[in-house]
Amino acid sequence: MAELYAVRMDVALPPDLDPAARADLLAREKAYSQEWQRSGHWKSIRRCVGEYANLSIFEVEGNAQLHEILWGLPLLAYTTITVTPLAQHPSDIAAG
């Protein structure tokens, strides 16, 4: 049984972060995100225009797996996370 969640991530990196440390963090964040995207659990990630933020959709087994994925984000210490659990909408044409 797959559960859906919308997750908004707002990132605040300190401007004086060491450039190499910063590049390393961003590379690891990208790799981590893409690994979960390929698994099918991180269904989409989109940039919020003009903000260091993304809106993502996750499809996971449930609360525990979602927490595990988010907890492992390399940028977690710099990220504010907002989780919205989702369910099928009665107007969804896919609802049959």
What's CA 1's distance to the chain center, in Å? 20
Min dist CB 2 to a copy of itself, Å, is 9
Render the burial of 22-43: b for 16+ CB within 10 Å, e for the rest. eeebeeebeebbeebeeeebbe
Q: Which of 1, 19, 20, 96 binds a copy of itself (CB under 8 A)?
A: 1
Min dist CB 11 to a copy of itself, Å, is 11
Contact 71, 36 (CB under 8 A): no
Q: What residues make contact with a copy of itself under the rule CB under 8 A?
A: 1, 3-7, 13-15, 29-30, 33-34, 37-38, 44-51, 54-55, 61-64, 66-67, 70-71, 77-78, 81-93
